[in-house]
Chain A
Amino acid sequence: MSPIAALVLKDLAIELRRKETVVSMAMFGLLAMVIFAFALQSASLATGGDPLNNAAAELWVALTFAGVLGLNRSLAIDLDNDALQGLLLAPVGRGALYVGKVLSNFLFMLLAAAVVLALFVVFNNLLLDARLLWVAVLTVLGTFGFAGVGTILAMIAANTRMREVMLPILQIVLTMPMIIAAVGATARVLDDGDPGTLYVELVAAFDIIFLVVSYLVFEYVVEE
């Protein structure tokens, strides 16, 4: 079995036992979406705008906050009892440790995103059509970008005195271009069914660039 598969299976086994990360992420994402919807619905009821205009924003705010929460929880698995040192001692490249954790985080986030997305469809009375397929594709792409850069940022934040604060700060600041593009694409899809090639390309480019750069520099974050 490849080391990366072993790492992902280990995270899955622990998550199945504790059921903390995915459940808390889904709940938090749901609440973020609800509070954001309340705030925007009140605003648009007062001013008479179309609530669907804000749907894309609701979705991505929910995914962003749920993602940040999940990254912290997921890394805690390895930081508990400093099990991370055991990983660093294994004859596995630092890059493989990074990729393994990215895949675990991606998987956890996808599960939570599926819940958030399902409720998003219901709350906004969306039809199950091609538009929804695009929203799902964008969610997968965006979630992968979150996991890619978020995995290294969680490790960076874990080295600071203010882990719970630094991760959201770093994650939100550094994923900003992707959020801009993802919200833009989602809003356009919901509007006329076309996400806009440039936006989708930008999200994909973000995913690839940050995966590669993080893979290359991960060793500097874990070595003394």
Chain B
Amino acid sequence: MTDAPALQTEGVAKTYGRFSALRGVSMTLEAGAFLTLFGANGAGKTTFLKIVATLARPTRGRLQVHGFDAAERPEEVRRRIGFLSHNTGVYRDLTPLENLRFYSRLYGRDDGDPALEALLERVGLEDRRHDAVRTFSRGLLQRVGLARVMLHRPALLLLDEPHTGLDARAVAILNAMLDEAVEEGRTVVLTTHDLELGLRAATRVDILDRGRIVYSGSGDADGARAAYDRHIRREAAP
């Protein structure tokens, strides 16, 4: 990994017609950081992550991932990020193993089956690697999605409410993989509605409100809790 920050944004804004979803977000995230992004519904968390993931194009502003500009070198950016949301991006007509095989080829890796099976083992799917994903529950589906995201060993992990709708086993696996990613020096950006899940491993906490960052602090739990109460509780997040 290069010396450049894992993520650097300058005045990233997104407007839909005249409605502003993001009103200029500037941040620098050093490699190895764990950023939790809190915000009420509609604060712009998902829009921000989608822009970093190059799924959406910012109306204004620039962003770089490990020194690669998202507008100029989008493929280099995509090579370095893993994005997981409620949407798992897996094919339900394929088995978990076939899904991984396909994505491995798409990422130009051509991993052999042993490596892919090892990855499935890490998300606890070794017994179901030959079953069509169509038959999977939400928790199992999300685990296949998690394996897909970790497949190309991304330097920057973007997780948009990844815990939503997961059973306890899936939450445990997700958290374990996040801890492992941090140990390996990867950078994590996580959004969540759950204060405790968000603070669990964070080294930095930012709060988005109506498209702006209104709080940016260290992972210090008390400060973050107070800021969370100040900015979000009043909006009665679910």
Contact = CB atoms under 8 A, between A and B. Distances in A.
A18 B105 CA distance: 22
B75 A93 contact: yes
B89 A83 contact: yes
Interface string A79-100: 0111111111111110000000
Contact of B93 (A5, A9, A77, A82): A77
Contacts of B98: 13
A17 interface: yes
Contact of B94 (A1, A7, A14): A14
Contacts of A77: 91, 93
Interface string A131-153: 00000000000000000000000
Contacts of A14: 91, 93-94
A89 B75 contact: no
Given A13-B94, A18-B93, A77-B93, A91 B79 contact: yes
Q: What bracket does the count of chain A residues touching chain B fall in?
A: 20 to 34
B160 to A, nearest CB: 11
A82 B89 contact: yes
Nearest to B79: A91
B106 interface: yes
Contacts of B83: 89
Interface stretch (B5-13, B52-60, B220-228): B52-60
B82 to A, nearest CB: 8
A150 B85 CA distance: 30
Given A86-B148, A90-B103, A90-B106, A224 B56 contact: yes
Interface of A: 1, 3, 5-7, 9-10, 13-14, 17-18, 77, 80-93, 223-224
Given A9-B105, A18-B93, A91-B78, 15 more contacts: A3-B105, A13-B94, A17-B94, A77-B91, A77-B93, A80-B91, A81-B89, A86-B103, A89-B53, A89-B78, A89-B83, A90-B103, A91-B75, A92-B75, A224-B57
25 contacts: A3-B108, A6-B102, A6-B106, A9-B102, A10-B102, A13-B94, A14-B91, A14-B94, A81-B87, A81-B141, A85-B89, A86-B90, A86-B103, A86-B148, A87-B89, A87-B106, A89-B54, A89-B81, A89-B83, A89-B89, A90-B107, A91-B107, A92-B75, A93-B75, A224-B56
